[in-house]
Chains A and B, each alone.
Chain A
Amino acid sequence: MTDAEAEIERIEVTLLLEAIFQRYGYDFRDYARASVERRLAQFLQDSETPTYSVALGRLLREPAYFHKLVPYFSVSVTSLFREPFFYEGLRTCVVPLLRTWPHFKVWHAGCATGEEVYSLAILLREEGILDRGLLYATDISQPALETGRAGVYPLEILRKGSENYHKAGGRGSLSDHYHARGDAGVMDSALARRMTFARHNLAMDRSFGEMQLILCRNVLIYFNQDLQNAVLELFLESLDNGGFLCLGDKETLAFSSVADAFVAVDDRARIYKKRVR
Chain B
Amino acid sequence: MIVPRMPTPRLTDAVVIGGSAGASVPLRTLLTGLTPAFPAAILVVMHMHPDDGGLLAENLGQVLRLPVVEALDKMPVKRGRVHLAPADYHLLAERDGKLALSVDERVWWSRPSIDVTFQSAAAVWGRRLMAILLSGANEDGAAGLAEVQRRGGLALCQDPATATMPTMPAAGIKAAGLRGGESPEALSRRLMHLESEKPDAR
Chain A interface residues (CB < 8 Å from chain B): 1, 3-4, 6-8, 10, 32-35, 37-39, 75, 77, 218, 220-222, 224-225, 228, 248-252, 254-256
Contact of A35 among B2, B98, B100, B126 (CB under 8 A): B100
| B114-144 interface (Cβ within 8 A of A) | 116, 119-120, 123-124, 126-127
In the complex, the answer to whether B103 meets A221 with C-beta atoms within 8 Å is yes
* Cβ contacts A to B, 14 pairs, < 8 Å: A3-B5, A3-B126, A7-B2, A33-B95, A34-B100, A35-B92, A75-B102, A75-B104, A222-B102, A224-B94, A224-B96, A225-B98, A250-B73, A254-B72
With A6-B151, A33-B95, A38-B119 known to touch, is A255 a contact of B105 (CB < 8 Å)?
no
Query: Which residues in A have their C-beta under 8 angstroms from that of B95?
Result: 10, 33
A4 to B75, CA, bound (A): 28
Q: How far, in Å, is B51 (CB) from chain A's closest CB?
A: 10
Any A CB within 8 A of the CB of B49: no
Any A CB within 8 A of the CB of B86: yes
Any A CB within 8 A of the CB of B10: no
Interface centre among B2, B76, B89, B151 (most CB of A within 10 A): B2
* CB nearest neighbor in A for B116: A38
With A6-B123, A35-B102, A77-B104 known to touch, is A251 a contact of B94 (CB < 8 Å)?
no
Any A CB within 8 A of the CB of B82: no
With A34-B93, A225-B98, A252-B72 known to touch, is A1 a contact of B104 (CB < 8 Å)?
no
A251 to B71, CA, bound (A): 10
* CB nearest neighbor in A for B71: A250
A218 to B101, CA, bound (A): 9
CB < 8 Å A-B pair total: 82
* CB nearest neighbor in B for A9: B123
In the complex, the answer to whether B73 meets A220 with C-beta atoms within 8 Å is yes
In the complex, the answer to whether A221 meets B86 with C-beta atoms within 8 Å is no
A33 to B124, CA, bound (A): 11
Q: Interface size class for chain B?
A: 20 to 34
The contact string, 1 if C-beta is below 8 Å from chain A, for chain B 83-113, is 0001001001111101011111100000000
* CB nearest neighbor in A for B147: A1
Contact of B105 among A1, A6, A33, A77 (CB under 8 A): A77
Contact of B150 among A1, A75, A77, A218 (CB under 8 A): A1
The contact string, 1 if C-beta is below 8 Å from chain A, for chain B 28-70, is 0000000000000000000000000000000000000000000
Query: Which residues in B have their C-beta under 8 angstroms from that of A254?
Result: 72
In the complex, the answer to whether A250 meets B93 with C-beta atoms within 8 Å is no
With A34-B92, A75-B102 known to touch, is A225 a contact of B74 (CB < 8 Å)?
yes
A252 to B99, CA, bound (A): 13
Contact of A225 among B96, B105, B120, B126 (CB under 8 A): B96
A34 to B123, CA, bound (A): 8
Query: Which residues in B have their C-beta under 8 angstroms from that of A33?
Result: 94-95
* CB nearest neighbor in B for A252: B72
Contact of A8 among B2, B71, B76, B119 (CB under 8 A): B2
Contact of A228 among B71, B74, B124 (CB under 8 A): B74
Q: How far, in Å, is A248 (CB) from chain B's closest CB?
A: 8
Any A CB within 8 A of the CB of B152: yes
8 additional A-B residue pairs with CB within 8 Å, beyond A77-B103, A220-B73: A32-B100, A33-B94, A35-B92, A38-B119, A222-B102, A251-B73, A252-B72, A255-B74
A234 to B1, CA, bound (A): 33
In the complex, the answer to whether B94 meets A32 with C-beta atoms within 8 Å is yes
With A34-B93, A38-B116, A250-B71 known to touch, is A218 a contact of B126 (CB < 8 Å)?
no
A271 to B175, CA, bound (A): 44
* CB nearest neighbor in B for A78: B103
Query: Which residues in B have their C-beta under 8 angstroms from that of A8?
Result: 2
Interface centre among B4, B72, B151 (most CB of A within 10 A): B72
A35 to B103, CA, bound (A): 10
* CB nearest neighbor in B for A255: B74
A8 to B2, CA, bound (A): 8
